[in-house]
Structures are given as C-alpha cells and as structure tokens.
Amino acid sequence: MRDMIKMVVVLTALAAFSGGLLAAVRDNTKDLIESQQLTFVKGPAIKSIFKDAQNDPIADRFKMMDGDVERNFFVGVMDGKPVGVAFESYGKGYGGDVGLMVGINLESDSIIGVGVTTHAETPGLGAKAKDDPGFAAQFAGVSALEPVKVNKDGGSINAISGATITSRAVASAATNVNEIYQRLKPQLVEKANSFGK
Amino acid sequence: MAKSIVQEFTKGLWSEIPPFRLVLGLCPTLAVTKSVENGIGMGLATTFVLVCSNILVSSLRKVIPSKVRIACFIVVIATFVTVVELLMQAFTYPLFLKLGIFIPLIVVNCIVLGRSEAFASKNPVVPSTADGLGIGLGFTLSLGALGAVREILGNGTVLGMDVFGPSFEPFTFMVEAPGAFIGLGLMLCVMNLVGSK
C-alpha cells in the first residue's frame, strides 16, 4: 500500500513539475516563435502579395478581434496610400489544414494575390499549390465579395490536376478570407488608413 | 574519481559511440542526415535532451519507485524534448522546419531512454552528466559525419558550400533514403575495420 501511494505521489509530482516547466518555457518563447513564423512562413507569402509595396508589410501589421478570434492583418502601402490588407485563413486539405495568405485591395474589393503558407500536401501533387506560381496567380483580380470556387464546382479557378482536394482547400481558405473581409471591412479600412503617410 | 568522469565522457566519443557502437537511435540517423547542418542540429538537440534528462533522472534516482521508473523517465524526457522543440522554434526556425517531426520523435529515441535506464538511474549526478554529454556529442559527431558523406556525394556541397565545382555530377542517390542505409553501412564497416586493429 505504501508503495502504491509513493508511486502515485512521485509520478504526480513529476508530471506537475514538467507541466510547470513547459508552461514557463512556452510563455517565454511565445513572442519569439510568432515573429520567427512571420519571417519564415508568412513573410515570403506576404512579400509576394505586396511586391511593389514601399513599406514593410510584416512590420506594419495590426491585430483585430473577429468575434472570439484575434487575427493578424498586414498592410501594404503604395504611393503613401494603404492599398490593401493581407491576412490568413485555412482550408481543409488532403494532409491537414492548408494556410493561405490573401491580400485584398481595399478600393476595388478584389484579391491582389495569394500565397500558401503552411501545408502538408503530397509533394509533386498538392504541394504544387505552394510551388507552382501559376496556380496562385489565378486568384489575382478575383472578387473578394463572392465565394471562390474551382472550375469543377463552377468557379473560375483551374484546379491543379490530380489535386482537386488541395485546390478546393485553397479556394475555401480564400472564401473564408472573403467572408472575414466582408464582416470587418469598415474597421479594416479605418485601421489601414492609419498606416498611410 | 576525476579520471572516471573523463572516462564516462570519452567513452561516448569512441568506444560506445552511437549509433555505430550502440546500434541505437537509427531512425533519426537515417532520416535527417541529408546534410551536415541537419545532422549536427539533430545531434545537438538530442544532446541537450540527454544531458538534462540524465541530470534529472540521476538526481531523482533514489525517489523514483522502480515499478514506475519507465513512466517517470518518459515524462522527464518528453518534457525536455518539448522544451527543445519550443527553443528551436524560437531561435532556429528554418532548422526546425527541416527537422520537423523528428524533433518530437527524440522522445522515443532509444539512446535517451537507454542512458536513463542503464546509466543515470544507477549513478550520481556528475558522472551521469558526463555520460549524457559524451554520448550526445558522439551522436552529434556521427550524424555530422554521415551527413557530410551524404551531402558531399549526393549534392557536392558541405554546409551549403560547393566542394567540387560545377563539373561535378551529384550522386543524388546518396541523399535519398537508400543512400542513408548504404552510407551508414559503409561507415559501420570502416569503424569496425579501424576498431579491430
């Protein structure tokens, strides 16, 4: 009986200790991890969307609450005027969530460009969503006020051959972005204008 | 006493060098040694886990009841692996992206559990630290060496620098999975030849 109590006590104490240690490390590295992810995962996608921007869209970002979720928004400035905001959403792909960064033009309500950030799709098939610039280029100029669909579902985006699920995931991520954009547009315009020079 | 600590340390560098002498921990050895950088990064992450878990296990060796020792070791190891994972995300994000799933898999690396069970749970803190450091650095060296062989032959580079110049036709087979087995086999063969003299 004493043995049994000792086992329970030791294991519980050890588990509590490791829980505390992990929470402390996590708290201390959270901001660093976020900025690393911005630079290495989201950075390239944002830069490809705002190719001609005069500012650093990664530095000019703001956070806003969308219901219960806090989202990051990146602002692209051209000729001293904020032209668009970029933000990320997810679609269900073949190997898990596909993250898509979408830049939207605030004046014309159309998509400036998109870039896949994170994915676990099959190399050579679904991974083309990220590797093949031709696929992402199709999203430029698409209206941000309507759902985005691939051609098989009656939309305008040509799916990657052999990777319909991935293509649909990207389209549905873009649709999510558009929905968020429509919900938050007034606040987004106001916030983005504060980055103008 | 001082001499035996040096011995505990140096045995990991030659007479018990993993994975060549203790043929353990082959999964990361085969999977991540596509380049020197990956090999060394993986080795150092494992070293950190080995040293920390050896220290904690040996300082708790009188408290941990033998019936739940494996569970206790795994809790300790898993904690430090998660710490390493968070630290790598915070400071060396590109390397973290390359090593990916193999960082969390250090938890099930037989070397780490093996050292806790075979050494740290029976020895005081100082020799256990030396043991962890030695085995860890030995593992790092092996992975770095195997990574170098595969990177030089398979890609013609070392740490991203060209060795042979543009006329070299890379032996791409070596950076693929079968190349790992052949590279490991050849290195084991050389180790045994040298060791048998």
Per mean pLDDT, which of A118-122, B50-54, B149-153 is the most reliable?
Answer: B50-54
% pLDDT > 70, chain A:
99
For B133, the token pair is: 């450091």
**What ranges in chain B are assigned the alpha helix state H?**
2-11, 26-32, 36-59, 69-91, 93-99, 110-115, 125-155, 177-196
| Strands lying side by side in the sheet with A69-78 | A61-66, A69-78, A81-92, A97-105, A111-116
Would you tell me how many other CB atoms lie within 10 Å of the CB of residue B59?
13
Q: Are A137 and A155 in contact (CB under 8 A)?
A: no
Which pLDDT score, from 0 to 100, does residue B43 have? 93
Residue B8 and residue B123: Cα distance in Å, rounded? Answer: 11
Q: Does the pLDDT at position B1 exceed 50?
A: no
CA distance A121 to chain B (A): 15
pLDDT in tens, A122-171: 777 888 888 888 888 888 888 888 888 888 888 888 888 888 888 999 99
Range of the domain at B126: 2-145
Whole-number Å distance between alpha carbons of A145 and A179? 8
Q: How far is CA A81 from CA A53, A195, B150, in A?
A: 10, 8, 51
Q: How far does Cα B29 stand from its chain's mean position? A: 8
The domain tally of chain B equals: 1
What's residue B79's pLDDT?
A: 95
Mean pLDDT of B158-185: 82
d(CA A80, CA A195): 9
Interface of A with B in 23-52 (CB under 8 A): 25-26, 29, 32-33, 36-37, 39-41
Average pLDDT, chain B: 87
Please state, in angstroms and rounded to a whole number, the distance separating the CA atoms of residues B140 and B16. Answer: 13
Please report the pLDDT score of residue A27 as a whole number: 94
- Can you tell me the distance from the alpha carbon of A45 to that of B23, in angstroms, rounded to the nearest whole number? 43
| ipTM score of complex | 0.79
Cross-chain Cβ contact B76/A6 below 8 Å: no
If one compares A61 and B186, the residue with the highest pLDDT of the two is: B186
- pLDDT exceeding 90 applies to what percent of chain B? 39
Q: pLDDT, tens digit, for every residue of B104-143?
A: 889 988 889 999 999 999 999 999 999 999 999 999 999 9
pLDDT at B8 over 60: yes
- pLDDT, tens digit (0-9, with 9 covering 90-100), for A5-15: 999 999 999 99
Identify whether B94 is part of a domain.
yes
Which residue in the set A11, A14, A33 is minimally distant from B89, CB to CB? Answer: A33
| Cα–Cα nearest to A157, from A176, A142, A173, A146 | A142
The Cα A15–Cα B62 span in angstroms is: 17
Residue B156 lies in a domain: no
Q: Is residue B150 part of a domain?
A: no
What are the pLDDT digits (tens) for B56-103? 999 999 998 888 999 999 999 999 999 999 999 999 888 888 888 889
Query: String of b and e for B6-28 (b: at least 16 CB within 10 Å)?
Result: eebbebbeeeebbbbbbebbbeb
pLDDT of residue B2 exceeding 60, the answer is no
From the candidates B86, B87, B92, B116, which should be mutated to test the interface with A, based on the most A CB atoms within 10 A? B86
Q: Which pLDDT score is estimated for A197?
A: 58
DSSP states along B78-90:
HHHHHHHHHHHHH
Q: Is B66 left (phi over 0), alpha (psi -120 to 50) or beta?
A: alpha
